[in-house]
Amino acid sequence: MNYQTIIEEVSKEIKLTKDEGVVASYIDELKKINPEKFGVHLVTTNNAHFFYGDSNEKFSLQSIAKVFSFAYAYRIFGEKIWSRVGVEPSGTSFNSLLQLEHDAGIPRNPFINAGAIVICDILVSHLKDPKNELLDFVKGLSDCKDIDYCDKTALSEKQTGYRNAALINLMKAFGNIENDIELVLDFYFDLCSIKMSCKELSETFLFFANQGKHPRTDAEILTLSQAKRINAIMQTCGFYDEAGEFSYKVGLPGKSGVGGGIVALHPNKYSIAVWSPRLNKKGNSYRGIQFLELFTTKTEMSIF
């Protein structure tokens, strides 16, 4: 399969069309990004790399990082986690309050904001130094060591994080948050602020395509069953109320973030990251989805 030719063909093709997305504006720091940025990086399970455009420039992961915090918590606490959060697609936006009231403070899944906040609460309850321990876990997933939080972005989100404050307060009222609200929210904002390039992102997600094993050392990061299950949750919940459409158009498990990144993977084959900051109405990268749809069409490979 000539991934490089297809990546270049598809990138050039979509650059000829109008980008109808809009950069996220509710977090001040994200507004400053040049909306024309565009990068792609694909890495295969046997370590072949293919890339295009701004693939080495770091951007804010935002909700993509929820997969790391969830994987870490799942690795440590296993099935116990499911008493606090569900595995159903939400069919609502990432920061919706409506469903949470109806579901008595138990978020539908770990990839909407409420679910990721509960995972942060679990990590705060059980770890001595959640911020550094999580970062060490993420660094250990690949060979990229130059990965860090962005304090500026975390602070910027904290200043306007009214909906997340509402979500955590509602869950606290239902008894589904154990710790001090501010402590948990600060950790959540830190989590979302992690920065990576497309190259780093595709590399750190490769173990999900490698049956839960570190792609170079073969060490078990998650069991085969855990990796399979997280892929299933990415497939059904990774794009909020656009998860069905993403499955339909792209046919791979993946996760998006309001920084304009999308990462997707083909089990036993590859992991691919795309970055383009303008978002569609559902909060997912407009060109990112367009790229992946054409990419899986031209490669004629999806999990279905």
Query: What's the token pair of residue 15?
Result: 């650059």
Residue among 233, 22, 218 nearest 112 (CA): 233
Rule CB under 6 A: choose which of 11, 62, 197, 235 binds ligand GLN: 62
Can you say whether residue 99 is alpha, beta or left, with left for phi > 0 and alpha for psi between -120 and 50 degrees? alpha
Residue ranges in 195-254 that form contacts with ligand GLN under rule CB under 6 A: none
Is the distance from CB of 251 to CB of 302 less than 8 angstroms? yes
Residues ≥6 apart with Cβ < 8 Å to 115:
66, 85, 86, 107, 108, 109
Tell me which residue has tokens 């936006």: 93
261 to 290: interface string for ligand GLN, x by CB under 6 A: ----------------------x-------
Each residue 20-59 as x (binds ligand GLN by CB under 6 A) or -, in order, gives ----------------------------------------
Smallest separation (angstroms) from ligand GLN to the CB of 128: 25
Of residues 54, 157, 242, 293, which one binds ligand GLN by CB under 6 A? Answer: 157
DSSP element (H, E) containing 23? strand 22-23
Distance in Å, CB of 186 to ligand GLN, minimum: 12
The residue from 110, 130, 212, 257 that contacts ligand GLN (CB under 6 A) is 257
Q: Report if residue 63 touches ligand GLN, rule: CB under 6 A.
A: yes
Nearer to ligand GLN, 189 or 291 (CB): 189
Could you say whether residue 156 binds ligand GLN (CB under 6 A)?
Answer: no
Residue 238 is given by DSSP the state T
Q: Closest residue (Cβ) to ligand GLN?
A: 63
Classify residue 290 as exposed, middle or buried by CB count within 10 Å of its CB (0-12, 13-18, 19+): buried
Q: Least distance to ligand GLN from the beta carbon of 27, Å? A: 7
Contact between residue 53 and residue 197 where contact means Cβ atoms under 8 Å apart: no
Tokens 């060979």 correspond to what residue? Answer: 143
- Cα(273)–Cα(279) distance, integer angstroms: 16
By rule CB under 6 A, what count of residues binds ligand GLN?
A: 11
Judged by CB under 6 A, the residue of 55, 69, 113, 290 near ligand GLN is 113
Nearer to ligand GLN, 62 or 296 (CB): 62
Using CB under 6 A as the binding rule, whether residue 95 contacts ligand GLN is answered as yes
Is beta strand 270-275 parallel, antiparallel or unpaired with respect to 261-266?
Answer: antiparallel
Q: At closest approach, how far in Å is the CB of 70 from ligand GLN?
A: 14
Interacting residue with ligand GLN among 109, 164, 204, 280 (CB under 6 A): 164
Q: Are 51 and 7 in contact (CB under 8 A)?
A: yes
**Interaction site with ligand GLN (CB under 6 A):** 62-63, 94-95, 113, 157, 164, 192, 257-258, 283
